[in-house]
A and B are shown apart, each in its own frame.
Chain A
């Protein structure tokens, strides 16, 4: 800092006042980047995303924002049945309506607005999956690092328990636990957190063991640092980056796991909107197709197309009710995967390899 001030003063000596202020500004602006400008500084390691990666980030941001503000911008409540049309007349059959001026994405099998349920569902689906992933990470990392640091029988006992959990297919463990306890949102979070904590544990333990034998840990030990200091200052900072990328993938697995359970009718229970259960509820509507594409040769049924474009209500839009939530899940999980892919490609592809 003092060196910089001297530079400015020297500059002031050789040139006029204006130049001084210019140089001064430049110095202030550059101050925080001073390290990068040293001739032997390592090249800057910023995260740069490809076009696909940027689109993926936009999609994920969209859903996350929707999860936060959703219920306040949704046109209807998630459990609201549309019974009257805009003129106030009673609708004969409000189930599986085509997208229309009243319900922009149509209605589900008992006449609830799909768009509102997708918006509410964003909060349920993302919220549960996020809470479960956080739980899995908290438990997995704590136990994994503990096993790596403690070694010995602590390591053996925890590792054997984890092996036992991993010898179940995830969905089976889910089915057995739900059969015993009946499904509820806290149970789903606990269940997914518990199931995926096992795989997080494996990664955290492996990372911890890798780091434990590094020279800098040896050095910390030699200078008499305590165990807590080594965990906090040596192990965790070095494990954060690989774990952060893994978090994205784990989050995707949890979303797929929970929506599969919901799809089986064993996850989030009605009337709460959740993307997986929405697909299940409306499955019967799939055979309607889109109404206007019905015949074997993709021939158009003009009458229904005209009805659709003029936003008249019509009761054969069943495919929308199934596809909308299915595409919501797919867009979110594919986007997260693409982001992780982009980051790991940037990091030399080592994570991309681990993934397969």
Chain B
């Protein structure tokens, strides 16, 4: 097992490296370089050359890449081309906001969707199961912002329970912060849980369909015992896998949700960076998001190895 897990970690590291190369390559195919963008219209050939030298843009591509990665490793994320602040200072506050929100979303959505998924899988074909599967199918089929809009309209505009915009001044106490964050959190919980419920249900049903469960049914084990003793333990692996995968999907969900609620998080910062074409900022944010994504998928992979005896002890 150790060798397999190590192999996966190795693959994960390679993927993060590939991601960094791709991010760097895509953002460097640009016709104009960072110096040109930063100086804009008033650039003279001399000032361009000077700034290029200062930013190291006159060096070969490979050198630029390695120095970029080197600076990333040491935590120096560079300087934003729009505004000139260091990217580290821009990201610092934002990343905690995003982590705070996604953390709460994970705390709510994981137990909720595992519970619903188990319930639906225990009673396949029942009214509850059909209600859960069709609702989640509908939720998966619509854009994230559609769910957000309906929630704003019902909870924010008509019922006036919560504010429709999630602006944080930084001085709120915990409960006020939660009130402000209700809508984005509920939206993300709905979006992520819909997937997670379906995948949990499918994973558990898969276990329920296996021969040893049939054996247990045939020898007359009570239903409750079959589910709790036989199925659940073996379903833990697939469920952990599902959870890690869906937390990885949160990376995409957070982009739309932070924008719609103007929440001052990392994703909003990145979208703003894309709009102003602030390449160093986009590179840094993309590296953070994509590495998180790769790591979560890696955890999902490892969870399925650790929980599966056949993978754990390969012959």
Contacts and interface: CB of A to CB of B under 8 A. Distances in A.
Contacts of B152: 286
A180 B202 CA distance: 40
A167 B153 contact: no
Interface in B69-86: none
Contact of A175 (B22, B198, B274): B274
B144 interface: yes
A90 interface: no
B142 A168 contact: no
Nearest to B274: A179
Interface in A257-310: 259-260, 263-266, 276, 279, 283, 286-289, 293-294, 296, 298
B270 A175 contact: yes
A238 interface: no
A91 to B, nearest CB: 25
Q: Which one of A266, A286, A337, A356 has the highest number of Cβ atoms from chain B below 10 Å of its Cβ?
A: A356
Interface stretch (A3-11, A27-35, A110-118, A322-330): A322-330
Given A167-B293, A172-B286, A334-B142, A264 B271 contact: yes
Contacts of B217: none
Contact of A178 (B140, B144, B201, B274): B274
Contacts of A265: 271, 275
Contact of B149 (A177, A181, A286, A293): A286
A298 B159 CA distance: 7
Interface string B277-301: 1110011001001100110010000
B144 A323 contact: no
Interface residues of B, number: 55
Interface string B251-275: 1100110011000000000110111
A273 to B, nearest CB: 17
A182 B279 CA distance: 12
A190 B11 CA distance: 29
Contact of B293 (A169, A334, A337): A169
A214 to B, nearest CB: 26
A180 B27 CA distance: 5
Given A176-B286, A298-B158, A333 B255 contact: no
Contacts of B149: 279, 286, 322-323, 326
Contacts of B270: 175
A286 B279 contact: no
Given A175-B255, A265-B275, A287 B142 contact: no
B218 interface: no
A132 B274 CA distance: 22
Nearest to B282: A179
A305 B198 CA distance: 42
B248 interface: yes
A66 to B, nearest CB: 19
B3 interface: no
B144 A260 contact: yes
The binding surface of chain A is classed by DSSP as helix
A141 interface: no
B124 interface: no
Contacts of A179: 27, 273-274, 277-279, 282
A250 to B, nearest CB: 13
B27 A289 contact: no
A154 interface: no
Interface core residue of A263, A293, A323 (most chain B CB under 10 Å): A263
A334 B141 CA distance: 5
B50 interface: no
Contacts of A266: 271, 274-275
A319 interface: yes
A171 interface: yes
B48 interface: no
Given A264-B259, A286-B149, A169 B289 contact: yes
Interface string B302-314: 0000000000000
Contacts of A333: 141-143
A256 interface: yes
Interface in B29-80: 29-30
Nearest to A297: B159
A314 to B, nearest CB: 17
A136 interface: no
Contacts of B160: 296
A27 to B, nearest CB: 47
A289 B15 contact: no
A263 B290 CA distance: 21
Nearest to B294: A167
A200 interface: no
Contacts of B277: 179, 182
A266 B277 CA distance: 11
Contacts of B123: none
A191 to B, nearest CB: 11
A264 B282 contact: no
Given A169-B252, A175-B274, A256-B142, 11 more contacts: A170-B252, A171-B251, A172-B290, A176-B23, A176-B26, A179-B27, A180-B279, A326-B146, A333-B142, A337-B137, A356-B201
8 contacts: A170-B252, A176-B26, A176-B286, A180-B279, A252-B141, A279-B149, A287-B157, A337-B140
Interface of B: 15, 18-19, 22-23, 26-27, 29-30, 137-138, 140-146, 149, 152-153, 156-160, 164, 198-199, 201-202, 248-249, 251-252, 255-256, 259-260, 270-271, 273-275, 277-279, 282-283, 286, 289-290, 293-294, 297
